Amino acid sequence: MKKILFILPVVLLLACEDVLKEAPKAVAVETFYNTAGEVESAVNAAYAQLRATNNISGQLGAQLEAYTDYSYGRGSYQVLSDFQGLNSTNIPRTDDGWRLFYLAIRNANLVIQNAPKGTSISQADVARFVAEAKFIRAFSYFWLVRNWGGVPIRTEATLNEPNVKRATPEEVYTLILADLKEAETVLPDKGAQVGRATKWAAKSALAEVYFYRNQYAEARDKANEIIQSKQFSLVPVTVANDFDKVFGPTVVTTPEEIWYLKMTRVDGQGHYLSMFAHHPGARLHGAGGFFAHYTDAQLNPVFKNWDNADLRKSYNWYKWDIGLGSNTYLNKKFSDPLAPTGTGAGNDFPIYRYADILLLYAEAVSRAGNGPTEAAMDALNQVHRRAYGKNPAAPSEVDFKLSNYNATTFANLVIQERGYETQYEAKRWLDLKRLGTAELKARIKAATGKDVADKHLFWPIPVGELNFNLALDPNKDQNVGY
């Protein structure tokens, strides 16, 4: 069983070791940031918003999983698979994501502003906790800028200012990069608890930011720093169910984990996105399931063309007729038959794991150098070998051959492999967006037959923000189509 560190109302620490968990109910502000324990609790309050049930490991992730080329939304998420923008049911869900990210940013800003004023805390601890808060702030803004475009930048300098103009995406990225560069310099190699940000989490985030911005040489070099550190490795598998060693509900950590949102079987502290995957009759989730996403073995070309010998296919999907025919499949990547409630599954939610970094490195190497190299191909093959139950570190008959690929075909191969590897991790839509609007639209059209409307590319700025932030113009600052 996982050992959990709980934080109850931010000033109280309960339990012991190993895994970071946060459940803050209130935050003291001006008089609170005096000791290392108090500042650490305040940092934990910022983490809590990232793993809230309506954020990326839950309801917001469910939004993104309805946009993929490998599956479709059902019920209230079905309209999202039309790629025509959000309806009145789904807009409040993204609005809540906005609220949670900005709450994480506010909590991080409080640490950045107040920790240096602490009366009983070392300068080393101040630097470490401020860097951790800046990592959380950067990560939150990275999600905001990719899904909403330019957004208001709220830092410790504007903490109490309600009216903040909408920044450009470039201005947001400037802050993100500055925060992450400080975090990678100051954060430790290993966190005090599993789940805390480390220098490797910061390097992974930097690599992803560069990757998303098509700065491929920078993305390649940052990913290579992680690879060359020898700190991480793929968990080997021989049969499909061995992937439970990576994604299962009782896993505490693995050599593959760089930074995950840590979950436990406690109501409100668990992996909520898994609830959206399952059918109650399958008994793969203790609380039942919403079966809000599915795929079709005959109609979906991504699934249909996927090699059945790839163990990820049988691990990730199970056949279940949800009233749409016998060819429907549901995703079982995150399963917890003992989950006590819908928000209490024990599966951790991967943000950065070594497989991601290997695939990012492979594609970035090829794009930066106008073609794949032996190192790029080996990075890809490590992930591919593991998918077929082979030793990731040893050449295999399933390996792709460098001589068979040029820059274009290799990029397509890695994008395909990323699609298989990261299913149900709320990553595919953003992966396709970074390829550019034309390519995203072409890939979605090929997989689903649907045209992606321009308004579907970004979520609407919440009406509440437009109404109460007087620096915004509702007519000029709202995203296209809303």
> What was the pLDDT predicted at 308?
98
For residue 94, count other CB atoms closer than 10 A to its CB: 21
pLDDT digit of tens for each residue in the chain (482 aa)? Answer: 564 443 333 332 323 345 665 554 444 455 689 999 999 999 999 999 999 999 999 999 999 999 999 999 999 999 999 999 999 999 999 999 999 999 999 999 999 999 999 999 999 999 999 999 999 999 999 999 999 999 999 999 999 999 999 999 999 999 999 999 999 999 999 999 999 999 999 999 999 999 999 999 999 999 999 999 999 999 999 999 999 999 999 999 999 999 999 999 999 999 999 999 999 999 999 999 999 999 999 999 999 999 999 999 999 999 999 999 999 999 999 999 999 999 999 999 999 999 999 999 999 999 999 999 999 999 999 999 999 999 999 999 999 999 999 999 999 999 999 999 999 999 999 999 999 999 999 999 999 999 999 999 999 999 999 999 999 999 999 999 99
For residue 105 the two structure tokens come to 């940013």
Considering only CA atoms, which of 42, 2, 1 is closest in space to residue 22? 42
Angstrom distance (rounded) from CA 85 to CA 87? 7
> What was the pLDDT predicted at 2?
61
> What was the pLDDT predicted at 365?
98
Strand 4-8: give its sheet, edge to edge: 12-15, 4-8, 19-20
**pTM tops 0.75, yes or no:** yes
> What was the pLDDT predicted at 32?
82
Residue 21's H or E segment, with its range, is none
Instruction: Provide the pairing of β-strand 328-331 with 317-319.
Output: antiparallel
> What was the pLDDT predicted at 161?
95
Angstrom distance (rounded) from CA 385 to CA 394? 8
For residue 299, count other CB atoms closer than 10 A to its CB: 16
For the chain, domains (ranges, CATH) are 4-264+348-468 (1.25.40.390)
Residue 423 per-residue DSSP state? T
> What was the pLDDT predicted at 5?
42
For residue 376, count other CB atoms closer than 10 A to its CB: 25
Angstrom distance (rounded) from CA 251 to CA 263? 10
